[in-house]
Structure 1
Amino acid sequence: MKRILIPTDFSDNAWNAILYAIELFHHIPCEFYILNVYTLTSTSLVTTISSQKVGQMYDTVKKESKKGLVSIQENLKNSKVYSHHHFISVSKQGEPVDEIRQFVIEKRMDLIIMGTQGATGAKAIFLGSVTHKVVKTIKSCPVLVIPQGFYFDRLKAVGFATNFKRIFYKSEIDPIISLANMYGGIIRMIEIYKEPSLSPTQNYNANSLEHYFKNKPHEFHVLPDFDTIEKGIQAFIEELEIDMLVMINYQHSFIERLTREPVIKKMVFRTKVPLMVIPADEY
């Protein structure tokens, strides 16, 4: 049974991520953990009031967290769900990214699914900066980011953006193959080049991908260098009608540039299709 973590701030985007997850895995038995992490965001306020008052404030946000999770469970009962899907609500106090990281390790999650932007005001803190940080820092499982207002459709084409400059490991490629297996879609690999031809190392690594994908429909695509990587990838998505984009997050690669401001916000917050970031196998 697949174990999937869906952090929530009770915004529309967080709810949309839940609905997307349900439909993406509609034919696969899953345990969905709906996690809300609550904390007092105004540290300056906390330092100026009594410890008793702080305790009362924490009790209030704790109750709001549990109340919000109950509401999600009620909404699920009134939505299209599947008998082989199970939903577990979890309320935790702490810093969101730290709690998400610890939860993923302790519960051995297979995947994290998050929305891109939260609601306005305080809620935007969670599905804004937290999604950004989770994508950059989680190393134990892939993170799937769902754009605002994006609704599930069958995965006809999965895009894989890479520069072919490092060897690929089976653990990194397995999530991509799994996506292709689920819906029989084509895997489209893309290199945004600075040179018109691949180096011997890039050719070797491209051939290793050919081996991994030999039993799956796949194609290689090369696009000329754009002003920014983000523009090139967005063009790739539009021209080839990509339904989900996949990247591997490893050191000393072009994706490192995607984890620096402001490009990460453009890709994570503005991507037009779901974005899956797979942590590199560094061992």
Structure 2
Amino acid sequence: MKSILLPTDFSENADNAISYAVQLYKDVDCKFYILHTYTPVNISTGSMMDNYSTYAVQDAEKEIAAQKLQKIENRLKTDFKNTKHTFVTIASLNLLTSEMTEVIKNHDIDLVIMGTKGATGAKEIFIGTNTMHAIKKLECPIIAVPSGFKYEKPKDILFPTDYKISKSNLYLSLIKELCKEHTSILHILNIYQNIPLKEKQEQTEAFLDIFFEGNTHLFHTGEGQDIVEAIETFKTKHKVNFLIMIYSNHNFIENLLFKPVVNQMVYHTNIPFLVIPSEE
């Protein structure tokens, strides 16, 4: 059984991501952990009555959160009626990434699926603040679902890579499973930039060819293009509706994820993307 964490702030964006998650894994036995965190209230150092009032407010917030989480669970059971899926709701007085770290550790979470939206909704923000923090802090794969994206089968999946990835990365199996479940075409794209592949990179390319032998997969090269531009061009040309990236502090994804996209182009992702942590 796959364990999937679904953070929510009870927004329409979060609800949309949760609905996407249960449809993406509709044929898989899953336990979904629906998590809501609320910000700690500063504890007064004054009178006992002040402290009591603070705790009362926190208890009330937890009760409200629990009720809203139950409504989400009820909606999912009513709308999708999937006997393969079970749900656990968690309301916690904690910071989001801190609580996510604990839940991932304590419940052996395989995957996080969450919505993306900048705090201000600004178009130039590549992904939302919470999602950025999660990608940087959590050692767990994350699928980020853009605001308003309605579920569609991931028919064409784009996997940009510089081939500087570990062949022992256990999370590569997540890609294989996803492609198998949806009979997807996996497009493996290397951005050439006029630099020949080194021997180790060629070995990684050969490894991926064998690893994805049971999946329909194609290798592509985008010569001499800006990385973001190459991804956007390929995505449009091949009607890609799912994107996969391996995150590392030492590869091109670092710049792609946290670089404000201004001047040259506005790159605001409009398809779900899976970010896999490297094993460096």
Shift of residue 117, structure 1, vs aligned partner: 2.0
Please point out which of 214, 239, 242 is paired with 2:240.
Answer: 242
8 Å CA contact retained: 1:172, 1:281: no
Aligned to 1:218, what secondary structure does the other structure show?
strand
Letter in 2 for 1:102: E
Letter in 2 for 1:106: N
Query: What does 1:1-283 correspond to in 2, within 5 Å?
Result: 1-40=1-40, 50-117=50-117, 128-139=128-139, 141-195=140-194, 197-227=196-226, 229-262=227-260, 270-282=268-280
Report the TM-score, using the length of structure 1 for normalisation: 0.86
Letter in 2 for 1:193: Y
Aligned to 2:129, what secondary structure does the other structure show?
helix
Q: Structure 1: which 5+ runs fail to align?
A: 122-126, 264-268
What is the match of residue 264 of structure 2? none
Partner deviation per Cα, 1:21-52 (whole Å, 9 max, x = no partner): 111111111111111111247x6x97899323
Shift of residue 76, structure 1, vs aligned partner: 2.2
User: How many Å separate the matches in 1 of 2:200 and 2:76?
Assistant: 49
Q: Over aligned residues, Cα RMSD in angstroms? A: 2.5
Q: 1:78 to 1:165 in 2, by over 3 A?
A: closer
Aligned to 2:171, what secondary structure does the other structure show?
helix
Letter in 1 for 2:156: A
Shift of residue 219, structure 1, vs aligned partner: 0.7
User: How many Å separate the matches in 2 of 1:214 and 1:158?
Assistant: 16
User: How many Å separate the matches in 2 of 1:57 and 1:14?
Assistant: 24
Aligned to 1:79, what secondary structure does the other structure show?
helix
Q: 1:65 to 1:119 in 2, by over 3 A?
A: farther
Report the TM-score, using the length of structure 2 for normalisation: 0.86
8 Å CA contact retained: 2:40, 2:93: no
Shift of residue 191, structure 1, vs aligned partner: 1.3
Of 167-176 and 242-251, more deviation after overlay is shown by 167-176
User: How many Å separate the matches in 2 of 1:200 and 1:240?
Assistant: 29
Q: How many residues align?
A: 268
**Identity across aligned pairs (percent)?**
33
Q: 1:8 to 1:213 in 2, by over 3 A?
A: same
Q: 1:153 to 1:259 in 2, by over 3 A?
A: closer
User: How many Å separate the matches in 1 of 2:119 and 2:130?
Assistant: 13
Q: Which has the higher helix share?
A: 1
Shift of residue 170, structure 1, vs aligned partner: 4.8
Aligned to 2:271, what secondary structure does the other structure show?
coil
8 Å CA contact retained: 1:7, 1:36: yes
